[in-house]
Structure 1
Amino acid sequence: MTLERYLAIRRYIEVGFWGALFSIIFVSETAVQIIDVNRLGLGYQAWEVICWEGTSIFTLLLLVPVLLFFDRRYPLRWSNLARAIPAHILFSVLFSALHVSIMVAMRKLIYWFNNSYYDFGNVAEQFVYEYLKDFRTYALSLALIYLYRHVVLRLQGEASLLSEPDVGLNAEPSEQPERILVKKLGREFLIVVNDIERIEASGNYVNLHIGDRVYPLRETMTKIEQRLNNKQFKRIHRSHIINLDYLQEIIPLESGDAQVVVKAGAILPMSRTYRNAVAEAV
């Protein structure tokens, strides 16, 4: 599978990865717990052990998107660790509280269906115990997320705006740069800004689309828009900017919004807020 093909279906693979990972953890943890219950003669039934592990793992899986959302708001970068680390530590408490609350509610419901009663025990004592486990899970999940991102960015190549002229690269610093530096697998090369077909918001990055290649740039949509030639690049949506040279068709919608078809075949949403400005420019 090529990198471009993978990036096109990466969301499905990422969802599948988390599902497979937590399924493996569920099966292994459940098997160990059942063996321990039988070995120690604790008297619990198999369905109870499955209930404990299943509700815990399933709730953690549900909270992965919450973790990803928070990390987009407070990414762990060298430039903002003093702010991001305390934020993540505080959020880990909320993360654990959500995990425990949903998990206990599900267990009580399952026990009720089995004509039994689930006792969580002393709330304060049990929450401290669960938080220590949840913090470990939280930290390991973040480590996996950042390792994965690092590998993808290394393969994909990360773009950066030029702020100073690079010797031998024929690049001039400008409020509207003509070239963007890309670092990929230890190599550096330049891409021409006018070759960018469209720009799409993606978390803490914007993705620069050139043909079937996608280069992530650590920048906001607002700031990158300010650095581009506004006669050639137009904002069509809060998450999309297009190069008018690659605009193929505008399809009006009854809502007042529209859809934009670019020459590469992608169909993008256009907000009514930007529709008139684009129509005037073309």
Structure 2
Amino acid sequence: MGGRRPGLAPGPRRRGRPRPRTRPADAPAGRPGGRARGGRDGRRPPRRAPRPRPRRADPGVTSLVVTPSADLELAAADVVASVVDHAGRGHGALDLVLAVGSVGHGEAFRRLLREAFEAVVVGPADDVATVMGPLASTPTGSELDVLTVLGPGESWLLEPRPLDETGALCSPGVRDGVDARGAFASRSHEVPVVGLVPVETLAEAIAVQNAENGGDVAGLHSLDVDEIDEWLHTVRAGDLVVGGPTTGARVRRRPPAGGVDGRSVGVSSPAARTP
């Protein structure tokens, strides 16, 4: 006779922890009778340390726009400071000056630049009178060409001169008549030479700053609030400077900034720059 045994009433169903499942002695650790999920001894392998987040510095061309409404004497001083700081090396070292309209066609700004650069004291790093010290190494290859070879249509407003036998100690230089699409303007340089690029309008200057080789640091010298507003709303760069040198880090004054477009890969936090 099937069913319950006679004389035994059904009792309440017991609830509690389920019995542990058993597995054959020769079954691998993990699921019963199944494939092991952990190590050979049945334990889970230790968690791997998180992979380091990628960091890459891809320097772009740093440029400074100078409009006719700017204080040209202050602009010239900031150009010099942006070139000679760290002997033209590092984030924010100036590569191009985009001279708008009469600034690029006249002689006043060129004269101010020449006088300001000629006043720079170049010497050994341990001399307290030194404003610009030596390069990290003797320039060779493309960097030596930047110091010695002019491109089509270019001329020296101020030609750099070697001041020691190695060539690592040299005076700063200014190239005039640089083409915004030429070889000099297409990349950043590790020597204290800046290119003067005449442009007709502020919009043309912004287009140069927004080019594929830009996106790192961009600056503007103007006292016209409309020009400043237009520039701030249209230029694309990781660090924007108005009315000051493109170098000179003051961390904690602004949040960290990185490049945009082709100038930034992964995490990037160069020091913030303020005038």
The structure where strand makes up a greater share of residues is 1
TM-score by length of 2: 0.23
TM-score by length of 1: 0.23
Q: Which has the higher contact order (CA 8 A, sep 6+)?
A: 2
Question: Rg: which structure is higher?
Answer: 2
